[in-house]
Every structure is written in structure tokens, then in C-alpha cells.
Structure 1
Amino acid sequence: MPFRQIVVWLLGLAAVALSGNVLWVLWSQGLADSEDLGLALFYCALAMMAWLFCLFGPRLAIGGRAVLKGLLLIVSLGLSLVLFELLMTPFHLVFNSAHQATLHAPQSAKRHVGDKYRFDLEVDPELGYVPRRGGQYAYDRHGAQRNAHQAQKPPGVRRVALVGDSIAAIGYLGGWLERLGPRGVEYWNLGVDGFGAWQELKYFERHGRALRPDLVLIEFCLNDFDGTPMILKDQDGQAVVANLYLGSEQFNPWLYRRSTIYRAYLSLKASLTDRDGLRADVKNALAAFQRHAANDHFTLKVVVYPLMSPYEQWPESYKKQRQDILVILRELGVEHFDATGLLAQALQGRPLAWARMAEGDYFHPSEAFAELLARRLLADGFLAAAN
């Protein structure tokens, strides 16, 4: 059997198998999980297109009028791509180009402000989403989580603004610092679930600067390298937000919102270029924090959180991201505390579950580890600007 026929048979079998996968997804999940169904259709369509090309492409090139047949083949492929794009559009697939999340209420600050307030998010055209503020919500009108302090800073009081993603929003570190630290210091929590470095900067510019902090403490999680947020769907009060794995200069926002094929291309680009541009975006965000610190006369410091696992068990990608953020902070001259060593010491004689907020959670530290971290920061005088 000629080699081309073998390839045609294999691609045909792949197309049949992937068609069966589409039916399986429909039978097992229905339309509830559009991401899984969309991916199944995507791979099925790719296999069908490859099979048809191998089956009919060579025949079109045989015989007379080969140029005309070649043009017809190109036009057919173009129309297939258009149909493919139309078929995939409702599923808003991001592949491996971004971290995708459906807009929902985060489990961020329940332990910090109690259960009587609601934790809802709303679509924001610049940041992707922001927490709802005021009234019945956990974030007050000034943008921080509710606390007992007045927005107008009293004379003689030092104010610390905690900035970050869900690690900050959970409130463990800020709560322990307030309980263990000196009197006359206010802690304001500006952490928002799922935010990356760029979103944290913009949210601080909107709300944090007006609080006139004396110290801004960024609680940096290694997944804060997630890039610019894009809203792919906004219907019935819900949204799908994608934080890209590429720097802001590496993609076209208009195309990203509208084209599945373009997002598939960016997924390949992110994989081949090691998420090009994200390091520069994080550095630019921290440099902007530095400029605000100089203009507003506050001190900027950063706590770098480790993965909640022994260092030797970390994936290489996170070892690199830790190295990247430490290099960035040294280059900018930002005072920082790398908690990796503290975690290693703490795990000597303790089970791994002691350090984690929940079983299998590699990112969020437990309240016990947050207490240990708070005690270490206070003992080292790391928060001197708040004393």
C-alpha cells in the first residue's frame, strides 16, 4: 500500500475517533461545558480537514489546468477556515494562550471580614473584572476590603496597603500582622482574587493611592506572571476572562477577542517562546509602583511566596519564574523577602499539609504558615516603615 494511502487511512481513523469523542462529550456533559465540547470539535475539525486535504489534494494537482485546480484548492481551504472560525466562535476557546476563568464570586476574604457580606465581581473593560464595592459587598467604596478604619487617615497613624491576588485577598498575612504588630498601624487589604501584576497596579492606581499608605506591601505569587486580561464573553451577567501567557506587546487585542484561529496561533507562540514578554510586563508594573512610591512618599516592599511544596519538587517553569521575579526586584532595587527558605525550614519536622490552605493547593499558604511569616517579617524589621 502506497505511503499516501496509509496516511489517508490513519487520518480517516483519527477523524472517526475524534468524531466519537465529540459524541462522548455531548452524551456525558451535554452543553454544560462549552470548553470541553469546543476543544473536541476543534480537534475533530482539524483531523477532517487534514484527511480531506490528503485525500483530494493530490488528485486536484494531476492532469490539465493544474493552476486552476490549485487555486480552487486554496479557495476551498480558505472557505474551510472561515467555516471553522464560525463553528468555533461560540466556544471562546483560548487553548494554551491564557488562563481562562468564568467570572464568579471568589472565596477570597471570608475569613477576614466574616460571612455577612457578599463577594461578587463585575465586568471591567480595562481590568477584565473588579470586585463590587459598597453596600452589601465585602469591598467598601474605597476599593479595599471592609475594616474598622476610617478612610481619612488619623494623625500619627501608619497605614499599610496589602496588594496582590487571592493570597493577599484571603487576608491571613494582614490579619496576623495586625494582631502581632505594634499599635497605631492600620492594614488595608486591596488584594483581589485572580489578579496578575498589571491588574494589581491598575487597581492600586484607582483605589490604593487615595488611601495615602505609608507602606505598600505586595504579596507576590508566582502565578502573578499571568498577563493582560481579555474579556471573551459577556452575557447574562457572566463573563469569560482570559489572562494571556504573552506580554502586552506580543498580540493584537482586537484579533484575540474575535478569532479562534488567532488564539490557537498565540497558544503555539506562547509555548515556543516561553511566554514572551511577561517578564517585561511584570517589571514595568513594579517600576510603576516605584514611581508612585516616589511621588506619594510611601515605601514599597515585596514578599515573594513560594509554591507550597519542597523546592526540589517544583516544576522547572516555577523555578524559573521565582528566579525571574528575584532578578527583577534586584534590578529595580526593591526591598523584598523571599519566603522559599522560610518554607523549607518550616517543613522540617512538619507535614506538607501544615503549610497548605487546602489539600492539593500549591499556591495558597495556610493560616499557620502566614502566622510564621508575619512573625518573621516583624522580627526582621521588614515592615519598619509601618512602625
Structure 2
Amino acid sequence: MRRVRRAVTRVFLVAFGVLIAVAALECGLRLVVPAPAFDPTWGMGSSVGADGQASYVPDEELGYVPRIDGPVFNEFGTIRNPYPVAKRDGIERVLFLGDSVTERRRIVDALSVLHGEATCEYWIAGVGGYNTVQEVRFFERYASRIEPDHVVLTFHNNDFFTTPVALRDESGDLVVYAGDRPTHGLGAWLYRNSRVARAVVDWSSERGGVAEVESRAGVTRDALARLRDQLAASGVQLTVLLFPILNPRDRWKPGETRSREIALELFDELGLRSIDLLEPIERSIHDGVDVREQPDDTWHPNWEAGRRMAQFALRHGLLDGGVMDDRVSIHADPSRISLASGGQQVLTIDAGRHRAGRSFLVLGSASGTEPSTSLHALPVPLVDDGYFQLTLAQPGAWIRYDGVLDENGRGRAIVAYPAGSDATLGTLHHACVLYQAFPLAFHAVSAAVALELTR
């Protein structure tokens, strides 16, 4: 009997000691950790809409989803818009897929203003807190039904990570979703009032380090590959926008730097058409332009940053289709040069004002225009020969041009031969190619123009 009493006493003392320790920890956290500014029932804002119903609901596969066919999201899982469901001839249906950056539409709205809506519809399927794996699954289940012509996936720097989100289930308990990790069932009162309970959830779903980025690279790659293959099978174009941290690079955390490195590696490995948005953000920060929606928020751009990134994306062919485009015109004058007397051919390029500031190459071939040469899947109407490789490897060396379209989307190049040149007689062909340098991608090409070399 004494042994039983001693055992009970020890258990009681241990439990009491644990209780005292937890209470002390709770007091310490309350002194150190400020009270959350957001509704504790939802890690990213209120989970209740204006109609009193939940804006987001738990989901077994995705963790949570926005309320489908509610006041914000329609039956297709896209934010409500004025476009008809039936597709219209001559109008490209562009679907923007992503997380809260896409949902808050800073970049998308700027695109609609800069590019216009005469030829494009801008559908948005952005869900706050989602990572790439969730975004692809959400597309497969809901947004794919709008049958887009072009899917633009915004890959956020934090898309390898998981965002813990707390939602009330039907019984009123809080379910904390932490990506692909186990969920935690907590009472609403405990989660709302206990800093220790919050700390346990945050610790168990800790995010943002190099190890987590690397551990989730595989599942993220699989999701990207699946999206690529599904869209390719349907003839739908895919473009990935790589979104940066809104901080100078020297202030990025190791996990943020590693996230960018792995993302670029995956895009290259999978052959994805991508546009890196780091350059306009770095330039803006260097120029002293505020790019953040909130002073301490390095994840969400303000309107000015959205405009600058949209402008950059358009200049790099976001809505150009990424294929041969007859709007890139090239005019050659004259079409013939006598090597005896010498002369020069002026190539005038017009790619359209929406491509102002884009980089371009002028490539040539001494062997004709067929068969064409593929540059990253873009067919260039020039035969790959020694002259082609020379103009590709040494741009501006044999043909004079600065390589950047002016504010009207125009450029000029000069092919010159001095009098008495000993070049081989025959016909050269030249074409203009629009491209981005990093990650390397070729977006549009002109027709080929001829230059006949005579005696």
C-alpha cells in the first residue's frame, strides 16, 4: 500500500512540476512574444467572410480550400470576374496560379492595365498560404475546368515551405494544417490563449531553412513536372514567374537563397519557360523605391512593385506566346552589296511598343533558311552553320547593334562590308530573336531577310 501511495505521490509531483514548468514557460513567452495582431483562428487573417460564413474550410487532401462558389471564389476555384465562361474567339484565356501574391493581384492587375484586355482574359486562382504542390492539386481539381490557353504559375521563394494554418472544423475545434505534415486538433480556447500551444505548432511545422528546402525539392519537382505534362498534352502554354524575397540579396536568409537556387535548377531540368522577377526588384531597391505592401513584409509587393514586375514580364515575352510571332518585323535595305565597292545593309526591327527594353540578337546563316534551327524549342528560320554559330557566340561583333529595343520596341542593326572585301559571294540571311539572358530563354523571332553579296 505504501508503494502505491509513493508511486501516486511521485506521479503527482512530476505532473505538478510539469504544470509549473509549462506555466513558467507560458509566462516567459508572454513577456517575450507579443500578442498576435491577426485573428488567432486563422494564421493569415479572418476565416469568416462578410456573409458570416467561413471563407476557407478544411480539406483532407489540400489541408484547406477557399469556399468554392462563395462570394470571392466561383465554382471553378477562381476569383470572381466579369468574363463569360464560354471562351471567345481571338481572346487568350490566361490563368494565374499561385499563393497570396497572386490572390492579392498586384502583378495581375498591372498586366491587365499595361497589356490591355482586348486580346486577353485574366483569371486568378491564387490561394493564400498554398505552396506549389497545393497549387497544382488545386488546379487539377478546380481551375483546370475553365480550359485556359496559358497558365502562369507564380513560384514564390517560400513555395518549398509549408504555412501552418488554423481553421475551425464543423465541431468548432481548431485544425492546424501544416503542409504535408500531420494536422493538430486543438480547442479554440487553448489555441487562442496559450502561447505554449502556438509555440508547439510553430515548432512542429518549422519552416524556411536550407534543410526543408532541399527535403521538399523532390515533391515540388514532381508537382511541376505533372503540371507541365498535363498542360502540354492539352496544348496549353505554361510560364513560371520566379518571385523573389523583397529584400536586398545580402539580407536574404540561407534558406531563401537556397530556394532560389533550387527553383532555377528545377526550371532548367524540366525545360520550363520562366521569367525571373529578381532584376526589377533589385533595381527598384537600389533606386530607393518602396516595394513592400507592409514595412516588415518581405513576401508581398505593393502596387508600384507589381507594376514594375509586370512591365518586366511583358518585356520578356510573358504574353507573347513564346513562339514565332509575326509582330516582330524586320526590314532590310538594301538587299544587295557589291564587294568591290563595299556598302552596308541596315536592318530595321519593330517588335511592338509592349516589348520596349527587350534584349535581342541578330543571327545569320550563309546556308539558307531551311531546315530551321531550334533555340530552346523556338524555331529560327536559319540553317545552323559556321556563320550562325559566330553570330550567336559573338553578338555585335560581326553585325553592329546594341541589343536592346528602344522605348517603342524598335531596334537597328548594320551589316557592313568595306570595299575590296574578300568575302565569299552568295546570299546571307539574317533574323532577329528576342530573348532573356537569365535564365536563358528565347521568346520570339522574325522572318529571315536576305543579303546578296555580288562582285
Q: TM above 0.5, one fold?
A: yes
Is structure 2 residue 253 aligned with structure 1 residue 315?
yes
Matched with 1:74 is none
Distance 1:20 1:292 in 2: 53
TM-aligned CA distance change 1:271 to 1:219, over 3 Å: closer
TM-aligned CA distance change 1:19 to 1:275, over 3 Å: farther
TM-aligned CA distance change 1:119 to 1:171, over 3 Å: farther
Give the alignment partner of residue 362 of structure 1, picking from 271, 274, 298.
298
Give 1:133 shift.
2.4
AA matched with 2:292:
R
Matched with 1:281 is 219
AA matched with 2:146:
L
Distance 2:128 2:203 in 1: 28
Distance 1:116 1:184 in 2: 35
Distance 2:178 2:29 in 1: 29
CA distances 1:72-101 after superposition (whole Å, capped 9, x unpaired)? xxxxxxxxxxxxxxxxxxxxxxxxxxxxx8
Look up the SS of the partner of 1:225 in the other structure. coil
Q: Comparing 192-201 with 235-244, which one deviates more in the overlay?
A: 235-244
Look up the SS of the partner of 2:246 in the other structure. coil
Asked if the contact 1:118/1:138 (under 8 Å) is kept, the reply is: no
Give 1:318 shift.
0.5
Distance 1:238 1:210 in 2: 33
Distance 1:272 1:362 in 2: 18
Matched with 1:149 is 83
CA distances 1:99-125 after superposition (whole Å, capped 9, x unpaired)? xx84477589x9xxxx99988111111
CA distances 1:207-233 after superposition (whole Å, capped 9, x unpaired)? 221111111101111111125989897
AA matched with 1:19:
I
Matched with 1:290 is 228
Give the number of the structure whose residues are more often helix, by fraction. Answer: 1
Asked if the contact 2:148/2:236 (under 8 Å) is kept, the reply is: yes
Matched with 1:215 is 150
TM-aligned CA distance change 1:290 to 1:240, over 3 Å: same
Q: Comparing 276-285 with 356-365, which one deviates more in the overlay?
A: 276-285
Asked if the contact 1:123/1:239 (under 8 Å) is kept, the reply is: no
Distance 2:27 2:51 in 1: 39
Matched with 1:344 is 282
Look up the SS of the partner of 2:126 in the other structure. coil
Aligned counterparts, 1:34-73, within 5 A = none
Give 1:184 shift.
2.0
CA distances 1:189-246 after superposition (whole Å, capped 9, x unpaired)? 00001001111011100122111111110111111112598989735445433324xx
Give 1:153 shift.
1.2
Q: Kindly report the root-mean-square deviation, in angstroms, between the aligned alpha carbons of the 2 structures.
A: 4.2
Matched with 2:135 is 200
Look up the SS of the partner of 2:79 in the other structure. coil
Distance 2:201 2:301 in 1: 33
Distance 2:85 2:207 in 1: 45
Give 1:134 shift.
2.3
Give the number of the structure whose residues are more often strand, by fraction. Answer: 2
Distance 1:105 1:228 in 2: 9
Which structure's CA Rg is the greater one? 2
Distance 2:120 2:29 in 1: 55
Asked if the contact 1:162/1:219 (under 8 Å) is kept, the reply is: yes
Asked if the contact 2:58/2:65 (under 8 Å) is kept, the reply is: yes
Distance 1:279 1:160 in 2: 27
Matched with 1:48 is none
Is structure 2 residue 272 aligned with structure 1 residue 334?
yes
Give 1:380 shift.
2.3
Aligned counterparts, 1:106-255, within 5 A = 106=45, 120-135=55-70, 137-182=71-116, 183-227=118-162, 234=169, 236-237=171-172, 239-244=174-179
Look up the SS of the partner of 2:294 in the other structure. coil
Question: Which sections of structure 1, spanning at least 5 residues, go unmatched?
Answer: 1-11, 36-100
Distance 2:133 2:92 in 1: 26
Distance 2:59 2:202 in 1: 25
Distance 1:117 1:168 in 2: 25
Distance 1:125 1:200 in 2: 15
TM-aligned CA distance change 1:128 to 1:376, over 3 Å: same
Matched with 1:378 is 314
Distance 2:209 2:254 in 1: 14
Asked if the contact 2:72/2:80 (under 8 Å) is kept, the reply is: yes
Give 1:336 shift.
0.8
Distance 1:116 1:350 in 2: 41
Asked if the contact 2:103/2:125 (under 8 Å) is kept, the reply is: yes
Distance 1:127 1:267 in 2: 16
Distance 1:174 1:326 in 2: 22
Matched with 1:95 is none
Asked if the contact 2:213/2:255 (under 8 Å) is kept, the reply is: no
Give 1:342 shift.
1.7
Q: State TM-score, norm by structure 1.
A: 0.64
Q: Percent identity?
A: 26
Give 1:174 shift.
1.0
Asked if the contact 1:198/1:227 (under 8 Å) is kept, the reply is: no
Look up the SS of the partner of 2:176 in the other structure. strand
Q: Comparing 168-177 with 233-242, which one deviates more in the overlay?
A: 233-242
Q: Comparing 206-215 with 226-235, which one deviates more in the overlay?
A: 226-235
TM-aligned CA distance change 1:155 to 1:364, over 3 Å: same
Asked if the contact 1:103/1:241 (under 8 Å) is kept, the reply is: no
Distance 1:272 1:199 in 2: 21
Give 1:378 shift.
1.4
Distance 1:318 1:272 in 2: 8
